[in-house]
Copies of this chain bind each other. A is one copy, B any other.
Amino acid sequence: MSSNSFGKLLTVTTFGESHGPAIGCVIDGCPPGLALAAEDFRHDLERRATGRSRHTSQRRESDEVEILSGVYEGRTTGTPIALLVRNTDPRSKDYGDIAQTFRPGHADYTYWHKYGIRDPRGGGRSSARETTMRVAAGVVAKKWLAERHGVRVRGHLAQLGELTPDGFDWEAVEQNPFFWPHAAQVPALEQYMDGLRKSGDSVGARVDVVAEGVPPGWGEPVYGKLDGELAAALMSINAVKGVEIGDGFAAVAQRGSQHRDELQMDGFTSNHAGGILGGISTGQPVTASVAFKPTSSILIPGRSVNLAGEAVEVVTKGRHDPCVGIRATPIVEAMVALVLMDHALRHRAQCGDVGEVAPRIA
């Protein structure tokens, strides 16, 4: 598996850089017959898009998806689906100063040491623009999961800096640019973010995601575990520093008698496990939480060195995103959908003719 490919049966290969002419992806292994058109990508790409509020960077992209292959008369053919999105707003000049320096907290230093060469424009391959294609690929997975299995994947912001939700309402999530589940707090969040923007600093965020309707049986023991692959998928998103499944780190201080989810014929009594046991889905909602670090592209000067080994001060000018976590929800959903679809196909491959022998609890 190449390092820009993801998945075993439902494989996604992304390509392109933020300041190149285009970005794209190839999705291979999608079953035939799924209805798919360019319009299907619009909603999630808009959710991810920049420029929707003054709290995100002012970079404007139209993000129109062009389907190059894999679809005929509105349905997937089973052959690889190639998607392309042209970059229309590069604004290279914002990044001209930093070609020779290592911006602290960015991948500049590591890229120089790995490759001996670096494309400084906009973060090159490490840019968040690449995640646009993940969201696009995720659209296909979400659609298939919903239509074929009744599975629904949705996420929300669960923490912004020190702030946490005072209430919870899924309806609210799609009605504010923060994906915040409590409408009443939105003004306070906006004020918080304004303060952050003025200070030139940034803050981290936590995104929670839930997949409902996942049947039991998805995932494989040992190294093909559903939670292991979710962890890899989520950790691979830019700026992620932690992943939890179910109760996550809270389980450390729990007792076994408290943590274990008991079974009764009308359902499990709890879901501390987060819908996964032994690496396989239980039929309960699959829940995960993702920690995003605060962006290092801030207006506050930072100390660093340059290629010549001289001490320098680095300041990011122009586009400044005080919290990358705000736009991360669609990306988190996309990765979860891609992993789930991959596992659904793998389960069908190995166990497609296993009948229902055990009672369904969830």
How many copies of the chain does the oligomer comprise?
4
**Chain B residues in 8 Å Cβ range of A281:** 110
Whether B242 pairs with A245 at a CB distance below 8 angstroms is yes
Binds B, one of A48-56, A181-189, A295-303: A295-303
- 21 A-B pairs whose Cβ atoms sit less than 8 Å apart in the complex: A3-B224, A5-B28, A16-B68, A72-B117, A77-B118, A77-B125, A102-B358, A105-B261, A105-B277, A109-B263, A114-B218, A228-B235, A228-B236, A235-B245, A241-B246, A243-B243, A249-B249, A263-B304, A309-B359, A348-B348, A349-B349
Contact of A216 among B114, B221, B233, B361 (CB under 8 A): B114
- Of all chain B residues, the one with the shortest Cβ separation from A245 is B241
**Chain B residues in 8 Å Cβ range of A37:** none
Q: Per-residue CB proximity of A278-297 to B under 8 Å, as 1/0? A: 11111100000001111111
How many chain-A residues does the 8 Å CB contact rule pick out? Answer: 161
Whether B296 pairs with A110 at a CB distance below 8 angstroms is no
Whether A161 pairs with B15 at a CB distance below 8 angstroms is no
CA distance A117 to B31 in the complex (A): 11
Whether A277 pairs with B106 at a CB distance below 8 angstroms is yes
For chain A residues 255-269, which have a beta carbon within 8 Å of chain B? 255-265, 269
Q: At the interface, yes or no: A78 with Cβ under 8 Å from chain B?
A: yes
CA distance A308 to B357 in the complex (A): 9
Whether B349 pairs with A203 at a CB distance below 8 angstroms is no
